[in-house]
Amino acid sequence: MDKFIGPPSYLFYDVNGYDTPENNRCSPWYYLWLKSRWYYYAGIFGTFCRGGVLGMMGKLDPNTQTRYSNDNLHLIEKCGGRVHIAGLEHLRAREGRPTVVVSNHMSLLESGLLHSVMRGYLDYSFVVKESLQRVPFFRHVIKSIDVIPVTRKNPREDLKTMLREGKRILDSGRSMIVFPQSTRTETLEPDKFNTIGVKLARAAGVPVVPMALKTDFLANGRLVRDLGAVRPERQVCFEFAPAMEIRGNGQDEQHAIIEFINSRLTEWRRQDAERAVKR
């Protein structure tokens, strides 16, 4: 397979990571909005609508998706947030070959950043709730990525769908992002981190790349889950580990994935606590 050449709008070619500069400043508009969460939501909603309209017209290509995702990343920094990305060399080493990326799932934020973080090195799809295919604008965005819809009502049937359709996508030369947790959560509970990613990689004969993320910059809302608080004091982090071949039943790889994610979350929370003391 030829080396995958990502969209020209990709920000992180030939680098192993990224950190928001220390001298980064908030947008003046953020102050005019009195540091309200609604400054952030206004920006995200605008990008969301533009993407949906282009998707409806059949013009939402990977370059445009990545450019809009870049806008989402910069919006975090405009609100005073910090972005940390590491381990991109492990994605680059895949040279576009099919891969299962297995990650924790923390907030709605990651779906708006994945193109900016990853799309330069992997062409991918992922799993979404079937009900999201009926959401205005969003349904046109996810249609352009060939996502796998699941009901979340019948776990056994959902597992069959994910394995069947995920293998189809991997066999076509694309990659899959898998979030084994059943719902978004700020904590990692190993007993609720299922083995679907390892099973899919084993079935398709491709390696797994663990991805740890921390996106609690955006909280899950209490009344409306997708409208939580914005917390600039909490950094946004993505980190990738080296690819792992699945051997045997995959239990060792499953354990290694969980250990990697847990270790990174522990370290990032320690860093957040240190910054809070210095404020």
Residue environment code for 68-79, b if the CB has 16+ CB neighbours within 10 A, otherwise e? bbbbbbbbbbbb
Query: Domain residues for 128?
Result: 82-278
* pLDDT at res. 187: 86
Residue 266 lies in a domain: yes
Mean pLDDT of 178-201: 90
| Tens of pLDDT, residues 70-118 | 999 999 999 999 999 999 999 999 999 999 999 999 988 998 999 999 9
CA gap 66, 60 in Å, rounded = 10
Residue 1 pLDDT > 60: no
Mean pLDDT of 48-66: 89
Residue 34 lies in a domain: no
Residue 74 lies in a domain: no
* pLDDT at res. 4: 72
Backbone angles phi, psi at 180, to 5 degrees: -70, -15
Residue 14 pLDDT > 70: yes
Helix, strand, coil fractions of the chain, as percent rounded to 5: 45, 15, 40
**Could you give the percent of the chain with pLDDT greater than 70?**
94
* pLDDT at res. 3: 66
* pLDDT at res. 178: 93
CA gap 94, 129 in Å, rounded = 28
Mean pLDDT of 150-166: 84
Residue 217 pLDDT > 60: yes
DSSP class per residue in 139-188: HHHHHTTT-EEE-SS-HHHHHHHHHHHHHHHHHTT-EEEE--SSS--SS-
Task: Return the bridge partners of 148, or none.
Answer: 127
Residue 229 lies in a domain: yes
* pLDDT at res. 227: 81
Mean pLDDT of 231-256: 96
* pLDDT at res. 99: 97
Residue 58 lies in a domain: no
Count up the domains in the chain and report the number.
Answer: 1
Residue 33 lies in a domain: no
Residue 215 lies in a domain: yes
Residue 109 lies in a domain: yes
> Comparing 50-59, 219-228, 255-264, 266-275, which segment has the lowest mean pLDDT?
219-228
Q: Which strands sit side by side in the sheet containing 17-19, from one edge to the other?
A: 17-19, 83-86, 236-240, 208-214, 100-103, 175-178, 124-129, 148-150
230: CATH = 3.40.1130.10
DSSP code, position 242? P
0.95 exceeded by pTM? no
